[in-house]
Amino acid sequence: MNHADHVRLLKSGILAQGGVWADLGSGGGAFTLALAELIGPTSEIYSVDQDAGALAEQQRAFQRLFPQMRVTYLKADFTKHLKLPELDGIVMANSLHFHRHKQGILQQVKRYLKPGGRLLMVEYNTDKGNVWVPHPMSFRTWQREAQQAGFAYTELIATRPSSFLGEFFAAASY
């Protein structure tokens, strides 16, 4: 996938520019950069990942592509409590599939959101994992997980073929 693909997956889940967002499990920042393009330069992003090298790579990309964007890089485990402001939205792209037990994580993630805030989930659209993606979830499974975590509504916003595990889905839960 390229930057345009990342933007397309998130685009329908972003209702307006601006606000304070987080990308949990942001890695090298592919979806963080897409988020920056969609929410605009007056926004703020908290990019959270355990890999300091990946965060440094992200920071270089932001300096080159979005030098005006306010980004806070947090080297942290998103499954633990984070000190974040109330968020307008959260992106979790290919980060939750590393965790078998998702509900505790999702309960914590939901607490970071302002009333009306949105969680944008990007995941492989399958319930069968492998060594590299141990616990993916189909959109149908995500709907159940999101509902159990207290999200009132989940909508499918995009799909994209994947040569690795068939297809990606993007969903907005609020």
Q: Per residue in 94-137, pLDDT tens?
A: 998 887 789 999 999 999 999 999 999 999 999 888 888 888 99
Q: Per residue in 153-162, pLDDT tens?
A: 999 999 998 8
- Examine the pLDDT at 163 and tell me if it is beyond 80: no
Give pLDDT, residue 119: 98
Rounded Cα–Cα distance for residues 109 and 126 (Å):
22
| Alpha helix segments (H runs only) across 71-120 | 103-112
Q: Per residue in 43-74, pLDDT tens?
A: 999 999 999 999 999 999 999 999 999 999 99
Give pLDDT, residue 129: 80
Residue 4 is encoded by which pair of tokens? 């345009």
Rounded Cα–Cα distance for residues 151 and 164 (Å):
29
Boundaries of every domain in the chain:
3-173
**Mean pLDDT estimate for the chain:** 94
Relative to beta strand 113-124, strand 87-93 is: parallel
For the domain spanning 3-173, the CATH number is 3.40.50.150
pTM for the full predicted model = 0.94
- For residue 6, count CB atoms less than 10 angstroms from its CB and return exposed for 0-12, middle for 13-18, buried for 19 or more: buried
